[in-house]
Amino acid sequence: MIRSRLLLKLSWCLICLLESVASLPMEQTVPFKRMECFYDTFQEGERATMSIFVLSGSPLQATIRLEGPLAPLGADQNMQKFHESVMEFERNPNAKMTSDDFVYEQQVVDFESIEFEPLEEEEAVDQITGDDKHSEVMKVYERAKRRNEIAKRKRQAVRASDDPVLFTNGVPRAGWYRGCVVAHVDTVDVEFDLRKESDYGMHPSNDHVLSQDDYRRLQEDISSDAAQEKATAAMTKNGRRNVQQLQWQQGEMANDEDFVQAKEKIKELRSLLADIQSLMAKERRRVATHKQINEHSHQRMVKASFWETVLFVGITLMQVYLIHTWFTSGAPVLGR
């Protein structure tokens, strides 16, 4: 009985491990002043989500853009007409952008300069009035507390900078749309993804489309529940057919309780693997971002030191020239 249960749990854990291997996000290199796009079809009223994370570049900036419809549904059956529709939009984008049912949304993402909202308590601190010593001491204390809170918010913003930026927009009309990344400052390496509501569904806690990993884990949970119900039903049916046969085999075979426990362990294992995968991806992004920021800071320091040296040498040479001109011009020397 123990051996049977152990084999059951090991087999389910092996299946869980094989199914839980997630693919790495797609990385692309976008040359300077160029753009890379994903094309897909969307139905009317459907929502599209673009996910982007800038891994390298100087600075870590890029522009994401959602455009469409570039062509009607079914235009891909004739690739020449589809290509002509896209080229027509690129030659004269203003002709379609003025239409009410055309989407042209863009956003600049910056992973090097992290913004954060000011504290709500900042304005209330300056409202403390009074000339007595106690009020002045409280003002100093509140200002120090506010500075500490702001510093804490900055550190939290840096720790949260390993998450990709999500941009979601609705589609007013069915057709072909594209999500693009534009390198408007420098060549950048990005993780970019375009996903639609009809493929993955919406996230229950926000207004964005589910990611591939979240959708895969959801489907695994659903399939696990269905398999458990099917196995339980089969065992119940066999038990009704031949109760005596099951009674003497009961010491060697798994029962319903074993399946329930295995199912719970599998869910815990999948959740743990998903958390590990998410932490690994965030750590990889954080290391890449901090490496780029440190390199950019070093480059700025080198440039600043270089120009400071040039300025110092220039001022020194100017002083030497003025002194030399003073002595060679025959001007009277002080003390004579």
> What does the pLDDT average to over 166-192?
89
Q: Using omega within 30 degrees of 0 as the cis cutoff, is the peptide bond preceding 59 cis?
A: yes
pLDDT digits (tens, 9 = 90+) for 302-319: 988 999 999 999 999 999
CA 265/CA 258 separation, integer angstroms = 10
Classify residue 138: in a domain, yes or no.
yes
pLDDT category, 159, cuts 50, 70, 90? very low
pLDDT of residue 320: 92
Classify residue 235: in a domain, yes or no.
no
pLDDT of residue 285: 78
pLDDT digits (tens, 9 = 90+) for 73-119: 887 777 888 888 888 888 877 777 777 788 888 888 888 775 444 44
For residue 9, which of 227, 206, 266 has the smallest C-alpha distance?
266
Classify residue 46: in a domain, yes or no.
yes
pLDDT of residue 184: 86
For residue 158, which of 10, 286, 329 has the smallest C-alpha distance?
286
Classify residue 131: in a domain, yes or no.
yes
Say which residue, 25 or 37, is predicted with more confidence: 37
User: What domain count does the chain have?
Assistant: 1
Residue 61 has pLDDT above 80, yes or no: yes
Q: Is the overall model pTM greater than 0.75, yes or no?
A: no
Q: Mention every residue, 6+ apart, whose C-beta is less than 8 A from residue 296.
A: 58, 59, 112
pLDDT of residue 213: 78
Q: How does DSSP assign 221-257, residue by residue?
A: HHHHHHHHHHHHHHHHHHHHH-HHHHHHHTTTS--HH
Rounded to the nearest 10 degrees, the angle between the axes of helix 2-19 and helix 256-328 is 40
Classify residue 315: in a domain, yes or no.
no
Classify residue 10: in a domain, yes or no.
no
In this structure, of 10-14, 61-65, 306-310, 324-328, the range with the lowest mean pLDDT score is 10-14
pLDDT digits (tens, 9 = 90+) for 208-234: 888 887 788 777 777 766 666 665 565
Classify residue 50: in a domain, yes or no.
yes
pLDDT digits (tens, 9 = 90+) for 252-291: 555 666 667 777 787 778 778 877 877 887 787 778 777 8
pLDDT of residue 315: 94
Say which residue, 18 or 72, is predicted with more confidence: 72
Classify residue 116: in a domain, yes or no.
yes
pLDDT of residue 293: 79
Query: Residue 69: exposed, middle, or buried by beta-carbon count in 10 A (0-12, 13-18, 19+)?
Result: buried
Residue 171 has pLDDT above 60, yes or no: yes
Residue 120 has pLDDT above 50, yes or no: no
Q: Which domain holds residue 175?
A: 31-210
Measure Cα distances from 183 to 51, 58, 114, 239 in Å: 16, 10, 19, 65
